[in-house]
Amino acid sequence: MLHIGLTGGIAAGKSTIAAVLTDLGAHLIDADVIAREVVEPGTPGLYAVAGAFGDDILTADGTLDRPALGRVIFGDDAARARLNAIVHPLVGEATKARVRALPSDAIVVHDVPLIVENGLAANYHLVLVVGASEDVRLNRLVTDRGMTPEDARARIAAQADDGARRRVADVWIDNERRPDEVRTAVGQLWRRRIAPYARNLEAGAVAARSGPALLFEPPEPPRTWVAQADQILARLRRAGGERIRSAEHIGSTAVPGLAAKDVLDLQLGVDTLADADRIAEALGRAGFPVRAGEWADTPKPNEPDPRRWDKRLHGNADPGRAVNLHVRVVGGPAWTYALAFRDWLRADDAAREEYAALKRRTAAGTADTRAYAAAKEPWFTQVWPRLQEWVAAERWQPPAL
């Protein structure tokens, strides 16, 4: 089951995009609708809210007076936290009940206004953010909803800004275009990414990759490689739970300023490979199925036992975000090498430029990514003594667990 988080600023037009996705076959779960249902008259939710904020937030017929409640919590973080502590668990339980009623291969769109503000991005396989400029949203609030400009500006200012939204957006949907253009763009997204992702997830399959090794300069903020890696690592930690001892961004995309293939290398640390096997299914459900076969890194001179370099390898079910997920034993030579090599390149300008030059030569001289990786491999062993010298000189230690 593929879970998509749909969000955006007030008046950005989430409902428009939700309708298009529903027409394409998605199952919509609207958090605002559920939030209203759990505080309807006679519900425990309404009883708890009235108990927390007083009967002044009720109308004469006993229903929730939303404008009155809004005035109580607006600008008052403590009051908003009290309300959320009541309503959010109820919404969560109702959402789970709706999900349980859906087929296993469903594509579920969760319309949640405050994914960014409440730090919920890790709950979804993909986060779609509907975007529109502040001026456009202001005009929509005044024209379509009858707000005063002052109230509209205050509502916009109370939410996350576009920089924060772009940081978590797996996909940014520009909703300032003509409706037919928006519908076409969402349809293409569905066919090229969402539907294939759902199929891969159901089949436990890694998305296919092909073609030459193309190097890219690091993307500009806020949607940097680091930001993307952080978001995926949060999803993986949520999926793997306590058996994940460490979760790190490694490889070229983790080194500032270094050109790289647009593939995120991530490393999870576990106590044993048996633990890696125990979480494999959960990682697959999170969007990262295991790659079939036996996997190991190349032994280095001071750790020649090949069994010490065994690992598990997972890949991306999402065709729109390439990931190599290495699961290694914490403290083992491969786990340590990956972290030390990353930090060495971050710290040593000469080593970083040497590696960058190797990458450029190799990318130009190989036909595909498999050949590119194989051609670079001897260099990692060649520089092993220099890396060990740097580790000793800097008294480097891996990040604390």
Which residues are annotated binding-site positions for ATP?
A: 11-16
Of 264, 265, 263, 268, the residue nearest 238 (C-alpha): 268
For residue 330 the two structure tokens come to 């914490």
Determine the residue type at 147.
M
Q: Which residues contact 175 (CB under 8 A, 6 or more apart)?
A: 8, 12, 13, 16, 17, 130, 131, 132, 182
Residue 135: exposure state from Cβ atoms within 10 A (0-12, 13-18, ≥19): exposed
Q: Is 366 helix (H, G, I), strand (E, B) or coil?
A: coil
Of 219, 129, 218, 229, the residue nearest 170 (C-alpha): 129
Burial letters 160-191, b for 16+ CB under 10 A, else e: bebeebbbbbbbbbebeeeeeebbebbeebbe
Tally of CA atoms within 13 A in the half-sphere of 136 that contains its CB = 12
- Whether the CB-CB separation of 246 and 267 falls below 8 Å is answered with yes
Binding site listing: 11-16
For residue 314 the two structure tokens come to 């997972």
- Whether the CB-CB separation of 260 and 251 falls below 8 Å is answered with yes
Distance, in Å, from the CA atom of 359 to the CA atom of 259, rounded to the nearest integer, reads 8
Of 297, 286, 293, the residue nearest 380 (C-alpha): 297
Cα 397 to its chain centre, rounded Å, is 28
- Whether the CB-CB separation of 294 and 273 falls below 8 Å is answered with no
Q: Which residues contact 199 (CB under 8 A, 6 or more apart)?
A: 205
Residue 339: exposure state from Cβ atoms within 10 A (0-12, 13-18, ≥19): buried
Backbone angles phi, psi at 174, to 5 degrees: -75, 115
Q: Which residues contact 68 (CB under 8 A, 6 or more apart)?
A: 56, 57
Determine which helix (DSSP H) or strand (DSSP E) holds 25, and give its type and residue range: none
